[in-house]
Structure 1
Amino acid sequence: METILDVNNLNITFDTYGGKVQAVRGVNFSLKKGETLAIVGESGSGKSVTTKALMGLIKKPAGKIPEGEILFEGKDLAKLSNKQMQKIRGKDISMIFQDPMTSLNPTMKIGKQIMEGLILHQGKSKDEARARALELLNLVGIPNPEKRIDQYPHQFSGGMRQRVVIAIALACNPKVLIADEPTTALDVTIQAQIIELMKDIQEKMDTSIIFITHDLGVVANVADRVAVMYAGKIVEIGTVDDVFYNPKHPYTWGLLGSMPTVDSNEGKLLAIPGTPPDLIQPPKGDAFAARNEFALAIDFEEEPPMFKVSDSHYAATWLLHENAPEIEPPPAVKKRMAGISGQEGSQS
């Protein structure tokens, strides 16, 4: 498959009163045409900051990209000005944000909000833009679009507002769609509908999707590949099967162990001990070492490289070194892995 986006050694910092926060540290990944890549991790791991950089939304002068490149169709987006990014943002790369109420203008009818990008980026007349807006409302499953197009955001439910946000993001047929926790604010039933909608749209439009989430249950049903982020770095990356059924990094084990499953009978969920490190002064060695019950002495001294597990699967943990002891995922994690398999089977 054709690669549409290449991120190489991306570093993002923010100047704060407390010092320079190293929010993203040497991130590498690619995105193929028609593929869904999920980026997962705890809050503060660098997921949203990474994808905001793809949109040119890192606020300057506090936010900087001191090193790295974001290659899209031969252009390095990290080097483009805001004015140059305006021609790409919304047209070639679009974003669905977490909370539709903060994404939509409460004073504008939703039809006008969908039409804006069509008029700006595609030069459509108002009549053409309105006709396309009606098509998009149909596509995302809004009933009575002829009536709804002239209504305001407060007249829509949470799930319907998120569908409107998706319609706006899809208006100009973007090549890359970034979905930043698009189902977090929705109940479970609506979540499932939005995920099915995105999968259906991807099939119809062959759009590449980057899906940001902390919910591994969502990932199992929506992604082709998964990148696990911790403390501003990708610590494991592979296909869904690689990461869910053959996870290698102890942090990935922790995420899987803290995930509920439909056949889990335990009275409480597992939790990863401790808290993420301070990225003003990132720790020496493996940033996860202080929280890792399987940490080796070298974890506190030297940062692990990305070890190759297979052609599609890589993980940054010293446990993959040839001289490391053989350590299996904890039994509780294996139970969760089996539970995910059961959930997938029940939903297919």
Structure 2
Amino acid sequence: MEKILEVKDLSVSFQTYGGEVQAVRNVNFDLYKGETLAIVGESGSGKSVTTQTIMKLIPMPPGKIKSGQILFEGKDIVPLSDKQMEKVRGKEISMIFQDPMTSLNPTMKIGRQIMEGLIKHQNMSTSSAKERAIEMLRLVGIPMPERRVNQYPHEFSGGMRQRAMIAIALAANPKLLIADEPTTALDVTIQAQILELMKDLQSKMNTSIIFITHDLGVVANVADRVAVMYGGQIVETGTVDEIFYDPRHPYTWGLLASMPSLENDDKSELAAIPGTPPDLTNPPKGDAFAARNPYAMQIDFEEEPPLFQISETHFAKTWLLHPDAPAVEPPDAVKRRMRKLSSTFDKPVLVKGGK
């Protein structure tokens, strides 16, 4: 498969009154054409800053790209000016934001908001752009698009506004779509519809997608690969099957254990990850997760672990994978979740221990 995006050793910081916040620290990942990569983590883990940096949307200052490269189709976009990035945003890379009500212009008709990018990036006439806007509204499942194209955002429901945002993002046929928590503000029924819509549109348009979420539960049916972020770093990456059925990092175990389940047949309480994320104005010396990790060893507080390779596609940043580390199995809550997932999707549970 051909790579469309390579992020190499990316570090991003923000100057604040409390000091320099090291929001993203030496992040590396790739994205292939037609692939969906989910970036998962708690609020403050650095996932949204990472993707906004790809779009060059972080305010500079106070934000600063300290180091690294962002190669889009082999070209580093980090040195590009705002003027140069205007030719990339919308046309080559588009973004769906979390809250469509604040992202859409309340004073402009939906159709006009779709047409703007088409007129600017594809030099369409007003009439051709309007036809394309109607086509896009129809494509994303909005009924009566000929009428809806002349309506304002407040006349749309929450789910329809999110569909309109997707129509705006995909109108110019971008090669890369970044979806920043696009279903967080929606109820579960509409959330499922939007996720299914994105899968369907991707298969039709062959767009590469980066899907940002704090909810590991929405990932299983959306992504091809998953990158788990914590403390501004990627701590585990692998295929969806590897992350759900063979997780290796204790933080990934915590995310899996805290996923709510409709089949609460064991009557167990929902697990929670103890403690709070690290203060990134003064990042921990060793493993960023050590203070919240019940399996932490002395070395976790002294030295940052490398990414250990588990398979060709699976890596985890934890000293538990060192050959000299004690064998540690995932907690019972994670094993229960994996068994439920395995029975639901007819997949084998791969984990036998901590190595």
For this structure pair, what is the TM-score category when the shorter chain's length is used for normalisation?
over 0.9
**Equivalent residue for 2:321?**
320
Whole-Å Cα distance in 2 between the matches of residues 39 and 118 of structure 1?
29
**Equivalent residue for 1:90?**
90
Give runs of aligned pairs for residues 181-220 of structure 1, distance below 5 A: 181-220=181-220
Whole-Å Cα distance in 2 between the matches of residues 328 and 343 of structure 1?
22
Deviations 1:104-163, CA, capped at 9 Å, x for gaps = 000000000000000000000000100110110010000000000000000000000000
Is the 8 Å Cα contact of residues 220 and 344 (structure 1) preserved in structure 2?
no
SS in structure 1 of the partner of residue 202 of structure 2: helix
**Equivalent residue for 1:241?**
241
SS in structure 2 of the partner of residue 222 of structure 1: coil
Is the 8 Å Cα contact of residues 27 and 233 (structure 2) preserved in structure 1?
yes
Give runs of aligned pairs for residues 6-17 of structure 1, distance below 5 A: 6-17=6-17
Is the 8 Å Cα contact of residues 220 and 340 (structure 1) preserved in structure 2?
no
One-letter amino acid matched to 1:208:
S
One-letter amino acid matched to 1:336:
R
SS in structure 1 of the partner of residue 114 of structure 2: helix
Whole-Å Cα distance in 2 between the matches of residues 341 and 42 of structure 1?
25
One-letter amino acid matched to 2:274:
P
**Equivalent residue for 1:293?**
294
SS in structure 2 of the partner of residue 116 of structure 1: helix
**Equivalent residue for 1:77?**
77
One-letter amino acid matched to 2:234:
I
**Equivalent residue for 1:38?**
38
Instruction: Give the structure with the larger helix fraction.
Output: 1
**Equivalent residue for 2:353?**
none
TM-score for both structures, normalised by structure 2: 0.96
TM-score for both structures, normalised by structure 1: 0.98
One-letter amino acid matched to 2:46:
G
Is the 8 Å Cα contact of residues 261 and 343 (structure 1) preserved in structure 2?
no
Give runs of aligned pairs for residues 15-26 of structure 1, distance below 5 A: 15-26=15-26
Q: Percentage identity across aligned positions?
A: 72
One-letter amino acid matched to 2:281:
I
Whole-Å Cα distance in 2 between the matches of residues 106 and 322 of structure 1?
58
**Equivalent residue for 1:160?**
160
Is the 8 Å Cα contact of residues 221 and 344 (structure 1) preserved in structure 2?
no
**Equivalent residue for 1:284?**
285
One-letter amino acid matched to 2:172:
C
**Equivalent residue for 1:268?**
269
Whole-Å Cα distance in 2 between the matches of residues 54 and 207 of structure 1?
16
Where structure 2 has 5 or more consecutive residues not aligned to the other structure, the ranges are: 347-355
Q: CA deviation at 1:15?
A: 0.3
Where structure 1 has 5 or more consecutive residues not aligned to the other structure, the ranges are: none
Tell which deviates more after alignment, 248-257 or 74-83.
74-83
Q: CA deviation at 1:342?
A: 4.3
Aligned residues: CA RMSD = 0.9
Aligned residues: 345
**Equivalent residue for 1:336?**
337
